């Protein structure tokens, strides 16, 4: 029986064949080690303390939880002994210089889905690895096309590392008995067709007409223009929805909407949308803000927000087509005014 390929062996092979990626390989290894520690904490749940306790203010206004701080510190410590010049995190206002002479810049969302801490739903750590710029402070202000590697750790029934080094997408699963990651899925390709979509339907009234139109078609099922029934999924964790889409197809939508502070979406371009988009594209899917591929967007701030639609290529194209169309009108299902007035006949 062939021994499963360990993460370290894979990274060693990448470094040998592509020496320029050797520092990125070393950094991925450090992130994976931090992920093991995070996985152990999560496995203990409340036995590890009040992980969901709000201990400070967060950039998104939801409050910084104890586990947010713990994961941020674990990742920072791991990267401080790696070839990383500058570190950016959702939990910290400004990037931190770790080693001015190092070659890489790493941006992370330490704990995606932290609202799920006490619900046993999946959470994750998302990361993006770039060359450090000559002016270190500007390292993250480059498009996602410049990423050397990207990935996420997902903590659920088991812990897995989804990784791309620019040559496809692989999934490594943590063997809790042996303490190392092994390759369990290789060269992943997202199915082009899907009947699943992920969106927070409670925000329907705030969506732009194009999103209401697209989702409205899906919700009409077999009786609508798509001619088939679709299922909706929403896990309140980007990594959980991304993982599902990678293994069985689908589309994820977190658009901008009319709520205060949501015009430009809620997810962060540099350390959420960019790494996810690189993974999705490497697996044959698409990722867009509705108009432009995510990886072509030029950031202008570390914590810049962006609308995000990603997944099976056919479905993502339908969303961009809706934005490009000049004749999109809302389906009756989503009209903002009733077709009826009290005591009158239909307005038609």
- The CATH number given to 196-334 is 3.40.190.80
112, 241, 281, 289: which is the annotated catalytic residue?
112
**Cα 53 from chain centre:** 24
pLDDT of residue 286: 97
Residue 46's pLDDT band (boundaries 50, 70, 90)? confident
Class of the CATH-defined domain 7-185: alpha beta
Q: Please state, in angstroms and as integers, the Cα–Cα distance from residue 121 to each residue in 32, 48, 154, 189, 241, following that order.
A: 21, 17, 11, 25, 11
The answer to whether 252 and 240 are in contact (CB under 8 A) is no
Q: Is 112 assigned a catalytic role? A: yes
Q: Is 57 assigned a catalytic role? A: no
pLDDT digits (tens, 9 = 90+) for 53-85: 776 666 665 677 888 999 999 999 999 999 999
pLDDT digits (tens, 9 = 90+) for 79-125: 999 999 999 999 999 999 999 999 999 999 999 987 777 777 899 99
pLDDT of residue 344: 41
d(CA 130, CA 88) in angstroms, rounded, equals: 11
* Choice among 44-48, 146-150, 155-159 with the minimum mean pLDDT: 44-48
d(CA 96, CA 110) in angstroms, rounded, equals: 15
208, 241, 257, 272: which is the annotated catalytic residue?
272
Q: Is 62 assigned a catalytic role? A: yes
Phi first, then psi, for residue 249 (nearest 5°) are 85, 170
Residue 7's pLDDT band (boundaries 50, 70, 90)? very high
Task: List the one residue out of 191, 178, 185 whose CA is nearest residue 160.
Answer: 185
pLDDT digits (tens, 9 = 90+) for 161-187: 999 999 999 999 999 999 999 999 999
7, 11, 68, 99: which is the annotated catalytic residue?
68
7, 75, 91, 208: which is the annotated catalytic residue?
91
pLDDT of residue 201: 93
Q: Is 296 assigned a catalytic role? A: no
Q: Name the average pLDDT for the chain.
A: 91
Q: Is 175 assigned a catalytic role? A: no
What ranges do the domains of the chain cover? 7-185, 196-334
Q: Is 196 assigned a catalytic role? A: no
């Amino acid at each position: 029986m062939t021994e499963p390929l360990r993460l370290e062996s894979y990274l060693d092979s990448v470094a040998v064949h592509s020496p320029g990626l050797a520092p990125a390989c070393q950094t991925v290894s450090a992130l994976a080690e931090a992920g093991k520690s995070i996985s152990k904490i999560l496995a203990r749940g409340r036995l590890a303390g009040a992980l969901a306790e709000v201990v400070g203010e967060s950039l998104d206004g939801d409050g910084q939880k104890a586990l947010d701080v713990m994961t941020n510190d674990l990742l920072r410590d791991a990267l401080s002994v790696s070839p990383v010049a500058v570190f950016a995190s959702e939990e910290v206002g400004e990037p931190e210089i770790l080693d001015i002479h190092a070659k890489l810049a790493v941006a992370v969302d330490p704990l995606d889905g932290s609202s799920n801490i006490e619900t046993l739903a999946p959470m994750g750590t998302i990361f993006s690895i770039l060359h450090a710029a000559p002016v270190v402070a500007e390292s993250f202000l480059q498009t996602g096309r410049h990423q050397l590697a990207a990935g996420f750790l997902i903590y659920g029934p088991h812990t897995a590392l989804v990784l791309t080094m620019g040559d496809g997408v692989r999934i490594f699963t943590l063997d809790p008995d042996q303490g190392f990651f092994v390759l369990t899925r290789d060269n992943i390709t997202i199915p082009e067709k899907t009947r699943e979509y992920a969106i927070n339907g409670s925000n329907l009234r705030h969506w732009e007409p194009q999103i209401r139109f697209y989702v409205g078609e899906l919700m009409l099922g077999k009786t609508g223009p798509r001619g088939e029934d679709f299922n909706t999924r929403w896990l309140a964790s980007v990594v959980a929805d991304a993982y599902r889409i990678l293994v069985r197809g689908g589309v994820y939508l977190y658009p901008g909407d009319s709520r205060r502070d949501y015009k430009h979406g809620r997810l962060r371009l540099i350390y959420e949308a960019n790494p996810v988009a690189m993974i999705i594209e490497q697996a044959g899917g698409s990722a867009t803000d509705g108009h432009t591929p995510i990886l072509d967007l030029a950031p202008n701030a570390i914590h810049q927000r962006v609308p995000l639609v990603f997944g099976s290529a056919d479905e993502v194209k339908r969303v961009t087509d809706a934005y490009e169309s000049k004749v999109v009108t809302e389906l009756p299902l989503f009209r903002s005014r009733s077709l009826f007035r009290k005591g009158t006949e239909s307005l038609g």
